[in-house]
Amino acid sequence: MEGVVIRAGTASDLERIETIQRASPEAAQWTVSDYLYYSFVVAEMDGVIGGFAVWRGVDVDEWELLNIAVGPAFRGRGLGRALIDVLPAGRVFLEVRESNANARRLYEQCGFAVIGKRRKYYQHPAEDGIVLERKR
């Protein structure tokens, strides 16, 4: 997508990432400095960071998406899609709140399929987690 750049995240991005994460209560609320231990990318639109994604390897060619968020003012402009597009080939797993329709639509559009449900996986409020997998 025009104007969108995905690049590796660095320590100097963390303040901005924390702001985006706080504004995205549906996302996991991590201590953002922990992202530096994982695969961590940011999405810039016209030079401004609008979103981020974090994942980890769990096996050979198997990955788990740990978090993804796009700031409210940047949504609906393809950043989420661009972040998912840079996930490595292989199997990617993730969990999503059952009620998180925007994220579920994004994942579905990017080729993820439902493979299971984790009862009351989330708290505050308690909710089932839907487990999705993308094979590529």
Asked if 111 contacts 134 with a C-beta cutoff of 8 angstroms, the reply is: yes
Closest residue to ligand COA, judged by C-beta, is 80
Nearest-approach distance from CB 79 to ligand COA, in angstroms: 4
Instruction: Give the residue from 65, 78, 56 showing the smallest Cα distance to 28.
Output: 65
Cα–Cα dist 128/99, whole Å: 9
Handedness of CA 136, 103, 33, 128 (dihedral sign): negative
79 contacts ligand COA (rule: CB under 6 A): yes
102 contacts ligand COA (rule: CB under 6 A): yes
Task: Please report, as residue ranges, which positions from 14 to 43 form the binding site for ligand COA (by CB under 6 A).
Answer: 24, 26-27
* Contacting positions for ligand COA (CB under 6 A): 24, 26-27, 68-70, 75-81, 96, 100, 102-103, 105-106, 109
